[in-house]
Amino acid sequence: MKNGKTIWITGASSGIGEACAYLWAKEKANLILTATRVERLIEVQEACIRLGAQCEVLPYDLSDLAGIDGLTDQAIGLFGSIDIVFLNAGISQRARALDTSYSVDKKIMDVNFFAPVKIAKRLLPTMIANGGGTVAVTTSISGRFGFPLRSAYASSKFALYGFFETVHAEYYDQNIRVVMVCPGRVKTNISYNSLKGDGQKHGQMDDGQAGGISSEKAARKIARAIQRQKPEVLVGGKELLMVYIKRFLPGVARKIVRKIKAT
């Protein structure tokens, strides 16, 4: 990453977003950090400044779709342009489809899919006018195959692939590059903050999540992929094999998924 690049990260107060912020701070990037937890976000900002970055924060709840155009305009205004946006914020789920209220389905889709779409559609004209840019999007291996207790979450991640791979095709000749970041098990708070069917937090770390790779290891791989503008990067451990099983042996993948004791 060249010094002076401006990078906007959503979901920057913990996990992968926080870890990436620190990596780019060491490279003297101009950082814009967005998340819902203001105090935690300021702590990350202060750490990034100590590491050598210029860093601004834009706290925001991405489920409030009405204000996203204004949020994006604010982000652009902070440093005059944005070279890379890392659309990383998201909410997961821990409930069967029929046990999940529509309001939960909608919130997950709003945060995971519609918010990134709105940000991209507002930001891309400016990127194109400035000669191009990179849009990195955190999806999931749940965006490659359905998974128990994740109906809305998987749907949102499938949808990200459809939208952003299309953006990549449509605007490639205008120097827009899209990087699909596809994590498997990474040890973050995503399972703790996942929503149950009634909208309450799951409130516990899943065993699979607890055994995942560290956020720091994931961030190093993600940062390299963004720098090289790879179309997709898979991040995790042996669970990533399921992506290839689904691709080449879809019938086997369906049998495996049906037998998973999901938590």
Show which residues are catalytic: 153
User: First and final CA of the chain: distance in angstroms?
Assistant: 38
Question: Following DSSP, what letter does each residue of 80-126 receive, concatenated?
Answer: S--SEEEE-----B-B-GGGS-HHHHHHHHIIIIIHHHHHHHHHHHH
Phi, psi of 90 (to 5 degrees): -170, 165
Contacts with 70 (C-beta within 8 Å, 6 or more apart), sequence order: none
Whole-number Å distance between alpha carbons of 23 and 53: 10
Whole-number Å distance between alpha carbons of 189 and 222: 18
Largest CA distance in the chain: 51
Residue 36 has a CB neighbour count (10 Å cut-off) of 15
